[in-house]
């Protein structure tokens, strides 16, 4: 099943694995402040493919679809469900297959490092507040995604409904609606 999603709010990225990235020189705590470190590495926090194009990790889409089946969401009831609380969550976990990261398309084509904008915010990781800079993808952005359905109880209509819910209430990226933010919201282009 192929879908095109269209961003309706900017998207923030924050690649946690940056600490393990050998191309990123670690912060020198004696000569570099945390702010200087953030200013030096913020672009590297985006997710890139081997061609240097910013991508949406496939896990974001898959996790959003699975989140749509939580009881607090608007889950789809399976046919012949015996319990009122039954959902298709387990079917989505085993029956939705997404295997590749998807390039993000911006106004002028695929989004690359030069298209990213810095988004500054203060965070409280432990004690006090520190500056955190995230790479932001401005509107318009689009992603062409492909989802394989291997469970016959899940229809394309089910996936479309769940993707619409995901775009409004879950979102993708950092500081999305699911986490109390406003970024990474999207619509499904028909």
Dump pLDDT digits (tens) for 37-49.
Answer: 889 889 999 999 9
Q: What's the chain's average pLDDT?
A: 89
Report the 10 Å Cβ neighbour count for 155.
14
pLDDT value at 164 more than 80: yes
Q: What local confidence, expressed as pLDDT, does residue 77 receive?
A: 77
Which residue has 């800079």 as its token pair?
133
Q: What local confidence, expressed as pLDDT, does residue 20 receive?
A: 62
Segments in 26-84 forming alpha helices (H): 34-41, 58-67
pLDDT per residue over 4-31, tens digit each? 999 999 999 998 766 566 667 777 778 8
> What is the pTM (predicted TM-score) of this model?
0.88
Q: What local confidence, expressed as pLDDT, does residue 19 receive?
A: 58
Looking at the DSSP bridge assignments, the partners of residue 3 are 145
CA distance 154 to 117: 38
pLDDT value at 71 more than 70: no
Q: Please give the full DSSP string across 129-183, using - where no structure is assigned.
A: -EEEEEEEEPSS-EEEEE-EE--TT--HHHHHHHHHHIIIII-SSBS-GGGT---
**Which residues, other chains included, contact 160 with Cβ-Cβ below 8 Å and sequence gap of 6+?**
3, 188
User: Measuring CA to CA, how many Å separate 149 from each of 99, 102, 115, 152, 171?
Assistant: 12, 17, 33, 8, 21
Q: Under a CB-based contact definition with an 8 Å cutoff, are residues 28 and 64 in contact?
A: no
Which of 155, 146, 101, 142 shows the shortest CA–CA distance to 3? 146
Q: What local confidence, expressed as pLDDT, does residue 34 receive?
A: 81
Q: What is the domain extent for residue 164? A: 2-189
Q: How many domains does the chain have?
A: 1
Which of 97, 74, 100, 98 shows the shortest CA–CA distance to 87? 74
Q: What local confidence, expressed as pLDDT, does residue 150 receive?
A: 95
Interval 158-180 mean pLDDT: 92
pLDDT per residue over 87-140, tens digit each? 888 888 999 999 999 999 999 999 999 999 999 988 877 777 888 899 999 999
Token pair in block for residue 169: 């209430």
């Amino acid at each position: 099943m192929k879908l095109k999603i269209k961003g309706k709010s900017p998207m923030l990225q924050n690649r946690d694995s940056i600490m393990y990235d050998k191309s990123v020189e670690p912060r020198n705590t004696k000569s570099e402040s945390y702010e200087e470190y953030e200013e030096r590495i913020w672009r590297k926090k985006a997710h890139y493919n081997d061609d240097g194009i910013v991508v949406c990790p496939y896990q974001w889409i898959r996790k959003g679809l699975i989140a749509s089946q939580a009881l607090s969401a608007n889950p789809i009831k399976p046919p012949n469900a015996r319990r009122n609380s039954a959902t298709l969550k387990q079917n989505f976990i085993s029956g939705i297959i997404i295997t590749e990261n998807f390039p993000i398309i911006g106004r002028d084509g695929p989004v690359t490092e030069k298209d990213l904008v810095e988004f500054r915010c203060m965070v409280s990781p432990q004690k006090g507040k520190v500056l955190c800079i995230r790479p932001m993808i401005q509107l318009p952005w689009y992603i062409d995604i492909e989802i394989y359905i291997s469970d016959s109880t899940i229809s394309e209509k089910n996936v479309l409904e769940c993707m619409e819910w995901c775009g409004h209430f879950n979102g993708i990226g950092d500081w999305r609606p699911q986490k109390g933010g406003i970024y990474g919201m999207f619509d499904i282009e028909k």
